Chains A and B, each alone.
Chain A
Amino acid sequence: MKDKVLMKGTDALAEAAIQAGCRCYFGYPITPQNELPEYMARRMAEVGGVFLQGESEIASINMVLGAAASGVRAMTSSSSPGISLKQEGISFLAAMELPALIVNIMRGGPGLGKIAPNQGDYYQATRGGGHGDYRTPVFAPASIQELYDITMYAFDVADIYRTPVMILGDGMMGQIVEPTICRKRQKIDLPPKDYILDGARKRPSRIIRSLILDTLEMEEHNWKLKRKYDLMRGKLPQHEEFMMADAKLIIVAYGTAARIAKGAVKRARREGLAVGLLRPITLWPFPTQAIQEIAKKVKHFLVFEMSTGQMIDDVLLALGGKAECEFYGRPGGVVPTPMEITRIVGRYWVQKEILG
């Protein structure tokens, strides 16, 4: 217990990044993630890193690109409208196969939306987001401890697969304060950075670029990226199961929505309804296989999101018609209570006559 400290989401994320060896942070103000650059502005000076506030989101993501090309662990963070501006840079990072961490503390949208928590950026995050044929691994933590641990892990994933990685939180994840254990980084074997641009002394020069005019070469580049994404699909998926052993109805939710759903599951259990929760921790690659396994036993799914329904597509794809799937969403920055979800679960339970 002694090691636990009360930490705000954004601060925990920043501290974890520093513990993971991130020494370059590039940001731009946008609510609700401002505490992250503010924390970095102080901390980077202490650890001898670099904190830079760019003149725009486009500048900051391209600073990340530059830092990654020179071999430093670099990150940036923003919130929904800012992430839209960063998409060009993320596409370039993916094409150039440079590791980086991008944090999206989602807020309401579209447009400038509002600053309340929301999960409307699921498509943008999991489908690549920018132009071209690429994907980025996306992690959606649901507690501050997990946010801390996943941030460290995300840097390793980025280095192993040479890819930009995204952490998808929302206003709630960024702002809540929870006891957290600030673990030290565990060293793992990472591939040598044999692509970085550090001056061609006594070795052939290296080129990092994304413009490949030769069509066949470009095709090969695309297939190479595809092979990498397939590798990630096999190795990365993570999910959490909660009270699923005897469940007849599974709620699928991620991030803040999953926290609410967990409360709803506990309430529903008190009412005698056998409800469980499946929480994808990686949104891309999606835990498709886990859902397919569960669909062999359970025939009723309820997807709950703080959007009008985006992750439900991935759940439906995973189910492939083998189970019934309903959706409940609250977009626009509304954070429903567990009570509300319990009511929805109860209604669904009765409508579908789940117990026969």
Chain B
Amino acid sequence: MKLSRLVEILDATVLTGEDQLNIEVKTAFSADLMSDVLAFAKPKSLILTGLTNPQVVRTASILDSAAIVIVRGKKPPAETVGLAKELNIPIISTKYILFETSGRLYMNGMVGCVKKIGG
């Protein structure tokens, strides 16, 4: 799925990374715990989260994530958006809750980074 399509599906706003909407993404990881993202997310995946602090961006950068989707209409601080711009990671904001966001993307072909732990 192209990020541009994801923006349509999630009725979302691109906060930074407008120039990267052609990126193709196949997998995603949803979590409000960066510890879990670090343990389970695969490279080139989306991170779907309700967290908005700059550590989300640093975590995404460490993991070579494709983009960050901030759910529940949360507004990240300018510092977070600025860091994402600097590190070249798109941030997309949607008003859908995490469950709806994940479900809508899954229905359109996106899958999780792992299906089951240890499975």
- The answer to whether A and B assemble together is no
Contact residues of A with B, CB < 8 Å? none
Contact residues of B with A, CB < 8 Å? none
